């Protein structure tokens, strides 16, 4: 086992995410079998191999912890105080189409809080990580603090699901909002790496609907944004909780207010 347990959950999250990212990078461009998951969703051999690599690191270092993996499901007690949330390849459709715009996400929930998280970018070798207080990015041997900023004006919108929380059939209604497009530059990268980008100042914001509790896709990015001081709420502007519906992650309060205004306006129009 190449990973030597340092005793730090944050460093373990980073090591596990990097292990998965290495597999994703090595398998990129190779012929891959698709494994149908229904409703147009699928996994590839790379998803499965990445998750196996992540689990190997986690199970070696924390054998008593529970794990929830996107592909393999739950290992250990589902109500465990400590549960690792693993998304081994977020952006499978991108990857299968020959684009390395993906992420490997690993987060640790202890009780109700995410206390450690990492999101690795296989295309650059960067890994964004936090111990719940300090938001950092590492590339090679260089480590620096994450600093959110709205300067890019880029806002990602998740279009892979409807937005029932605000009464919209599809997130494309947000992209059609004239105020939104006048102030921001909408983007759809189809990977939750974009949430980590908000913490890093590469995106001004991110919007999605969906349940956030033990969400293997979003937990790592949300933890990074919170540690970096971003404004993070559900789609109604309420504090994130186990009952939270949807997500707005914004670089600052002003950006968040503007995005919340767009969402409220479209929700009212959709009723």
**pLDDT value for 161:** 77
Residue with tokens 């998951």, as numbered in its chain:
37
In the three-class reduction of DSSP (H, G, I as helix; E, B as strand; rest coil), residue 89 is classed as strand
**pLDDT value for 271:** 45
**pLDDT value for 169:** 84
Of 55, 57, 78, residue with least CA distance to 66: 78
**pLDDT value for 1:** 43
CA atoms of 130 and 137, how far apart (whole Å): 9
**Burial of 206: CB neighbours in 10 Å, binned 0-12, 13-18, 19+:** buried
pLDDT tens string, the chain, 271 residues long: the values are: 445 555 799 999 999 999 999 999 999 999 999 998 887 789 999 999 999 999 999 999 999 999 999 999 999 876 789 999 999 999 999 999 999 999 999 999 999 999 999 999 999 999 999 999 999 999 999 999 999 999 999 999 999 878 999 988 888 889 889 999 999 999 999 999 999 999 999 999 999 999 998 999 999 999 999 999 999 999 999 998 767 789 999 999 999 999 999 999 998 876 4
Paired residues of 157 in beta bridges: 207
For the chain, give percent helix, strand, coil, nearest 5.
35, 30, 35
The number of beta carbons lying within 10 Å of the beta carbon of residue 193 is: 30
């Amino acid at each position: 086992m190449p990973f030597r347990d340092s005793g730090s959950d944050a460093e373990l999250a980073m090591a596990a995410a990097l292990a998965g990212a290495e597999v994703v990078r090595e398998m990129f461009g190779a012929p891959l079998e698709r494994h149908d998951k229904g409703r147009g969703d699928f996994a590839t051999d790379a998803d499965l191999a990445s998750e196996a690599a992540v689990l190997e690191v986690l199970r070696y270092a924390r054998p008593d912890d529970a794990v929830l993996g996107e592909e393999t499901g739950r290992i250990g007690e589902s109500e465990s105080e400590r549960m690792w949330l693993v998304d081994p390849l977020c952006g499978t459709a991108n990857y299968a189409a020959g684009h390395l715009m993906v992420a490997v996400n690993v987060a640790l929930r202890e009780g109700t809080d995410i206390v450690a998280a990492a999101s690795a970018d296989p295309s650059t070798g960067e890994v964004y990580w936090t111990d719940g207080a300090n938001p950092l990015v590492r590339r090679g041997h260089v480590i620096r603090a994450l600093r959110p900023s709205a300067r890019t004006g880029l806002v990602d919108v998740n279009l892979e699901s409807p937005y029932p929380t605000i009464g919209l059939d599809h997130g494309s209604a947000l992209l059609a909002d004239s105020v939104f497009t006048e102030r921001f530059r909408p983007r759809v990268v189809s990977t939750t790496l974009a949430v980590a980008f908000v913490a890093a100042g590469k995106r001004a914001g991110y919007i999605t609907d969906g349940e956030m509790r033990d969400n293997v896709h979003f937990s790592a990015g949300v933890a990074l944004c919170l540690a970096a001081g971003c404004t993070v709420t559900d789609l109604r502007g309420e504090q994130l909780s186990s009952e939270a519906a949807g997500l707005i992650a914004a670089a600052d309060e002003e950006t968040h207010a503007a995005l919340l205004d767009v969402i409220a306006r479209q929700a009212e129009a959709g009723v």
